[in-house]
Structure 1
Amino acid sequence: MIKQGEQRLVPKLRFKGFSEDWEQCKLGELGKDYSGLTGKTKKDFGHGESLYVPYKNIFNNHIVDVDNLEKVNVSSKQNKVKYGDIFFTISSEVPEEVGMSSVIGKDINNLYLNSFSFGLRPYEKSELDMIFSSYLFRTLTFRKKMYILAQGISRYNISKANVMKLEIALPSVNEQKKIGRLLYKLDSMITLHNLKKEKIEKLKLDLVRRLDFSLIEESDEVVLGDLIEIKSGYGFKSEEFSNNGIPLVRISDIDSGIVKKPGTFIKEDSKYIDFLIKSGDYLIAMSGATTGKIGRYTLNHDAYCNQRIGIIRGIENKIDNNYLEYVLHSSKFQHYISTQWGAGAQPNINLKQIKDYKLRLPKLSEQKLIGSIFANLNRQKDIHKVEQLLSLKELYLNKLFI
């Protein structure tokens, strides 16, 4: 029974018919942890009769994409993955990418887990809905707990033992199912509109290819650094995060060519003025699994930029800002970025590498013509529908969970 003055353990938003408090428990009470592949060398991967879940599959998907598993040769005893297992990444170059989660929603024979993640297998008696859990561990509330656990300087790691001590709040299984199904349906709508958005993106490139800009090949090569202003973000500490103030854009907010409405805030301070993002700026992920990912900031208010993100702003009369989008999304630029770290190395780029990119630039009038194609197609409702659905999902993740 709740005593007078005690705060109830309930979310801000609920389905009708549910009123009881959520119950707190530690992850270690829900299931048993296990390690990923051990004792493997490079020659063991890319062939064999077994499959494993790659790090990026976990990072990019709250439910494992079973069409993107990779081969591995397993001859010794290793921990096999089972339906319903929950995975957490344990290492990254930025703290906000540590502890990303995913669940496996299909039984696959001889499936294993990559070496840089660990698994949690729920006990049969634990009442944890799989789809609900796939969203629970990606909420900002839980992610903040992971940030605190991240240890390191140039590379961040988390301890499996410490993760298992983390506390979470759970509703009844019926309420879990309601929440999980709602968010899953919303994700399905986002996927549908993303497919339409991808068609628009393809149309952009096809239209540009059909235009005859002969002067591009005849023009001199220039370096991107002469056309843009670029700077990186600041390493804000998790203890500085607030529920109000100036929005803080993190790497995870860059999605599908746009920047989602941030769910984290920092109290305004003049010492952070150099890290402000303006509407129309382009952001680029500079480290981790999504290095090279581009998003355009279109919100009407300024935001702070977190570390390992580059802020790119076109210089007026040198490059059209809409044309700059074409440059940054081009396969040539993306390929260039992907070649800036060594084979097997953790993806990582710096400002100089971005500025050193060479391109042939058409005259400004032609840039504006190409840029106008992008601007007009960007106004298509499917692109903005994705933004709206992503914002709605963010709202639900913040309000439906504790």
Structure 2
Amino acid sequence: MADMEKSVLPSGWGQCSLADVAQLQNGFAFKSGDYVEWGHFLIRIGNVQDDGIDLSKPAYVDLADVKAKKFELNEGDILMSLTGNIGRVAVIKKEHLPAALNQRVARISPKHGDSLNREFLIHLLRSPAFFDQLTAAAKGAAQQNISGKDVLAAVISLPPLAEQTRIANKLDELLAQVDTIKARVDAIPDILKRFRQSVLAAAVSGKLTGSDYSKWINSKLGDVVEIDIGHAFKSKEFVSEGVPLLRGQNIEPGALRWLDTKCYPDAKLREFRHLFIEEGDIILAMDRPIVSAGLKLARARATDLPCVLVQRVARFKSFDAITPNYLYLVLQDISFSNYLVPNQTGSDIPHISGKQILGYEIAYPSLTEQKEIVHQATGLLQICSQLELAVEEARSKVEEMTQSILAKAFRGELVTQSTDDEAASVFLKRTGTKKTTTEE
């Protein structure tokens, strides 16, 4: 592997492979048949996240077998993922115990307490330069994999032990501040989500404009609009180039996404011209209409065209007494999602029918008032969208800040060097490390 840093090492630092100062244990290949209702929490790849151990979707094993005992985890153990999102580092805490180490997860620890500080090791494994080496060594296209040997072969720049402690302490201090900033930024989307829903609720109840709600007309959705439901195009006739098919998978809350696009020959679509989507059309997924991010409802943009409607996807049309823009507000209001939930059918894939969609009860004012409601609500929702984009940018900046601090630390720029510190070359030689380059 390439060196962590090509530049000249700071005074007193040395360079070696991770294997010279650390040891690694691979997990055991527990089988799903070994799982029990309660026992040792099995730490699998998905449980190892950069922000700690994910406790969701737990599996448990019984470590009564003596051979499996060596895979029992302890408080403070440092773990790394070796498959998929490689290089994620997490630390076992008391609340995770009892726990066991599964395959494709590695436990890494210092070989010698007088050459490698444990807290320094945690930060080192999370540093950009170390991760770059793992990425370079990874194999597999669809799913990346690294071996324990790949991890141990990484070349590291090692400061004196006393400086390692100073670096680790400084990183703990700075990264705690970054975590505080991150927590504040991460709290904003929920605030914006509540604000967005309050705007929508006010819009469809007349409160946003001070409209007299008692004069609004109440009716079922089917009394004022119609829907088109797409055609069941045969998958054997799909082609790589043609007209994109608008399927439920292409609908996300607020936008159409074309990451997994299926196409149909244009020549075979002559009888389906009525199912071609137009700019501004309101589209609703009928299979699994509600996901964690919200309702799979969107409006078609010019960049989404051409595309054609597929079965189990609804397009609203033939507006009478309400405008498309007002309807879009009505459907985004949480009341519509709350109506859909108990009316869904199917256990594996929840489904909503066209009849159920059109059975939703709505209230609407005059067309003039609808226009004013849409104008005011759109302005507020646009501000909300702008703030959401700013939050994403802030999150990116926070991540850059973390990586910048780590990079600076492992270039020797975070704390001062001291001539009183025992040089890395000394303790590396004492521990028997042969392949070492140092500059003192």
Question: TM-score by structure 1 length?
Answer: 0.55
**What is the Cα deviation at residue 44 of structure 1?**
3.4
Which aligned pairs between 1:359-378 and structure 2 lie closer than 5 A?
359-361=313-315, 365-366=325-326, 367=328, 374-378=381-385
Match of 2:52 among 55, 59, 63: 63
1:128 and 2:117 aligned:
yes
Shift of 1:120: 0.9
Highest relative contact order (Cα 8 Å, sep 6+), 1 or 2?
Answer: 2
8 A Cα contact 2:134 2:150, kept in partner: no
Q: Following the alignment from structure 2 to structure 1, what is the Cα–Cα distance between the partners of residues 279 and 108?
A: 55
- Larger Rg belongs to: 2
Matched, 1:110 2:73: no
Q: Is the 1:36–1:118 contact (alpha carbons within 8 Å) kept by the matching residues of 2?
A: yes
> How far apart are 1:365 and its partner, in Å?
2.6
Determine if the alignment matches structure 1 residue 197 to structure 2 residue 186: no
How much has 1:111 moved relative to structure 2? 1.1
CA distance in 1, matches of 2:35, 2:279: 50
Number of aligned residue pairs: 280
1:88 Cα deviation after fit: 1.9
d(CA) in 1 for partners of 2:16, 2:259: 35
Where does structure 2 lack aligned partners over 5 or more consecutive residues? Answer: 1-5, 205-219, 232-242, 261-276, 283-288, 298-308, 317-322, 330-373, 412-440
Q: Report matched runs for 1:254-293 at 5 Å.
A: none
Q: Do structure 1's residue 33 and structure 2's residue 24 form an aligned pair?
A: yes
In structure 2, what is the Cα distance between the partners aligned to 1:90 and 1:98?
A: 5
Structure 2 equivalent of residue 331 of structure 1 = 294
1:49 corresponds to 2:39:
yes
2:169: which partner in 1? 177
Q: Is 1:389 paired with 2:351?
A: no
Q: CA deviation at 1:57?
A: 2.8
Is the contact made by 1:221 and 1:361 (CA closer than 8 Å) also made in structure 2?
yes
Deviation at 1:127, TM superposition (A): 2.9
Say whether 1:23 aligns with 2:14. yes
Match of 2:139 in 1: 151
In structure 1, what is the equivalent of residue 150 of structure 2? 162
Q: Going by fraction, where is helix more abundant, 1 or 2?
A: 2
- Equivalent in the alignment of 1:219: 227
* SS in structure 1 at match of 2:166: helix
Change (3 A) 1:214 1:143: farther
Quote the Cα distance in structure 1 between the aligned partners of 2:139 and 2:183.
Answer: 35
Superposed displacement of residue 227, structure 1: 6.8
Q: 1:321-360 residue pairs with structure 2 within 5 A?
A: 330-333=293-296, 359-360=313-314
Counterpart-to-counterpart distance in 2, 1:316 and 1:38: 53
Once the two structures are TM-superposed, the CA of residue 190 in structure 1 deviates from its matched residue by 0.4
Letter in 2 for 1:61: D
Q: Secondary structure at the match of 1:219?
A: strand
TM-score (norm 2): 0.51
Which AA in structure 2 matches 1:9?
L
Question: Deviation per CA, 1:289-326, whole angstroms, max 9, x where unpaired?
Answer: xxxxxxxxxxxxxxxxxxxxxxxxxx993469xxxxx9
- CA distance in 1 between partners of 2:295 and 2:91 (Å): 34
DSSP-derived class of the 2:39 partner: strand
- Give, as a single letter, the amino acid of the residue that structure 2 aligns with 1:53: I
Q: Deviations over 1:1-26 (max 9, x none)?
A: xxxxx94225xxxxxxxxx4543232
- Alignment of 1:101 with 2:89, yes or no, is yes
Distance in 2, Cα, partners of 1:193 & 1:70: 29
2:18 counterpart of 1:9: no
CA-to-aligned-CA distance 1:246-298 (integer Å, 9 cap, x gap):
xxxxxxxxxxxxxxxxxxxxxxxxxxxxxxxxxxx998999xxxxxxxxxxxx
1:144 Cα offset (Å): 1.6
Q: Which stretch of the first structure deviates more once superposed, 142-151 or 208-217?
A: 208-217
Note closer, same or farther for the CA distance 1:199–1:53 as it changes in structure 2 (3 Å cut).
Answer: farther
Sort the Cα spacing of 1:129 and 1:397 in 2 relative to 1 into closer, same or farther, 3 A. Answer: same
Tell me by how many angstroms 1:137 deviates.
2.5
SS for the counterpart of 2:75 is coil
**CA distance in 2: counterparts of 1:400 and 1:316, whole angstroms:** 54
Q: What amino acid maps onto 1:90 in structure 2?
A: L
Aligned residue type for 2:279: N
CA distance in 1, matches of 2:133, 2:395: 28
Q: Output the amino acid matched with 1:47.
A: E
Contact 1:227 1:318 in 2 (8 A): no
The amino acid that maps onto 1:86 is I
Give me the whole-angstrom Cα distance separating, in 1, the residues matched to 2:30 and 2:44.
16
Question: Which amino acid counterpart does residue 63 of structure 1 have in structure 2?
Answer: G
For residues 104-147 of structure 1, give each alpha carbon's deviation from its aligned partner in whole angstroms, at most 9, with x where no partner exists: 244754211232312112346043243x5444323332222112
Q: Distance in 2 between matches of 1:356 and 1:61?
A: 40
SS in 1 for 2:132: helix
The residue number in structure 2 matching 1:317 is: 279
Q: What is the RMSD computed on CA atoms of the aligned residues?
A: 4.5
**Whole-Å separation in 2 of the counterparts to 1:153 and 1:397:** 28
Indicate the percent of aligned positions where both proteins have the same amino acid.
Answer: 17
Tell me the secondary structure at the aligned position of residue 88 of structure 1.
strand
Query: For residues 292 and 379 of structure 2, what CA distance do their matches in structure 1 show?
Result: 15
- How far has the Cα of 1:376 moved from its partner? 1.6
Contact kept, 8 Å, 1:26 with 1:166, in 2: the verdict is: yes
Cα distance between partner residues in 1 of 2:310 and 2:117: 50
Return the alpha-carbon distance in structure 2 between the equivalents of residues 72 and 397 of structure 1: 35
Aligned match for 1:82, one of 74, 83, 90: 74
Q: AA paired with 1:331?
A: G
